[in-house]
Amino acid sequence: MTSSSGTSASVHPPRERWEWNEERYRDGVFSHAVGTERERLRLLESVLDEHTRESFRRRGLRPGHRVLEVGGGGGSVARWLAEQGAEVTVTDLDTTYLDELAEHGVEVLRHDVYTEDFPAGSFDFIHTRYVVIHLPDPEKAVARLAGWLRPGGVLLLEEPSFFPIQDSPHPAYRTVMRAFRDHLESAVGTDTEWARSLPVPLEGKGLGGIGYDARFQRIAGGDAEAAWWQLTLEQTREAAVAAGRATDEDFEAAYRELNDPGFHDLSLAVFTAWGTRQD
């Protein structure tokens, strides 16, 4: 589904839910120091990249556009953008998996989107994927990103929402997914349902032409989404079990479900929102 809305909105008061500390995200869950992290990111790219590419195409990406890729992860989006002839800057708190992109003409920066700036009017496109929900105040982050666009530049956000996994009919999958969600909310500070508010957070940020789409990620036993979830869950398993949110037996049962060819369910909902910087 796709809809659009105007640019006027009431100004919301600050709602930082916790004090930002980049180490909490960089060195905690999803740390690049975890041996399976690169493979986990590769799997995520394999299930998300085509939709990301199509979103750029529909928003008018052209050779020569200056593009900022925030939270570049494994680097597949930044690499593809460079192949399209864009002038790409990619950032992350840890650029371990991105440094090789410099050989392809990509500017790689260790940069904190929440505390460090770019000059106003620097970019034709700014893109984030699975980044904003992890920040203390996602709306503050959106306002910062919008301010770095040139007039006519496009802000493109892709963020997940966890509601489809909370009432799964598969008991082990449901249990560990709820445990994972609770761990992210407490240990990382993730707002696991913020994406459902899109595209409203883009309003009042100097953007027009605001629109969005939403889709459900499907998951089947043994597919790439299921493999990604197993690596993702395993990274939080020890903490979830220690906190009493699930047991080791729950995790093992969930992995059996995720490897069963007969398993079919919903994964995350993914909301994509965009807006164009006004003069």
Total domains in the chain come to 1
Indicate whether 68 belongs to any domain. Answer: yes
Kindly tell me if the per-residue pLDDT of 9 is higher than 70.
no
Q: What does the pLDDT read at residue 216?
A: 97
Kindly tell me if the per-residue pLDDT of 233 is higher than 60.
yes
Indicate whether 145 belongs to any domain. Answer: yes
Indicate whether 247 belongs to any domain. Answer: yes
What is the tens place of the pLDDT at every residue in 143-167?
Answer: 999 999 999 999 999 999 999 999 9
Kindly tell me if the per-residue pLDDT of 127 is higher than 80.
yes
Q: In 3D, which of 91, 59, 267 has the Cα closest to residue 156? A: 59
Q: Which residue do the tokens 């659009």 mark?
A: 4
Cross-strand bridge partners of residue 66 = 87
What is the tens place of the pLDDT at every residue in 174-197?
Answer: 999 999 999 999 888 899 999 999
Domain span holding position 60: 20-277
Cis peptide bond N-terminal to 199, omega within 30: yes
Q: Go through 211-240 and write b for each residue having 16 or more CB atoms within 10 A of its CB, e for each that does not.
A: bbbbeebebbeebebbbbbbbbbebbbebb
Rounded-to-5 percentages of helix, strand, coil across the chain: 40, 25, 35
Kindly tell me if the per-residue pLDDT of 21 is higher than 80.
no
What CATH number did the domain enclosing 85 receive? 3.40.50.150
* pTM (2 d.p.): 0.89
What is the tens place of the pLDDT at every residue in 260-269?
Answer: 999 999 999 9
In this prediction, what percent of the chain has a pLDDT beyond 90?
Answer: 84
Indicate whether 87 belongs to any domain. Answer: yes
Kindly tell me if the per-residue pLDDT of 223 is higher than 90.
yes
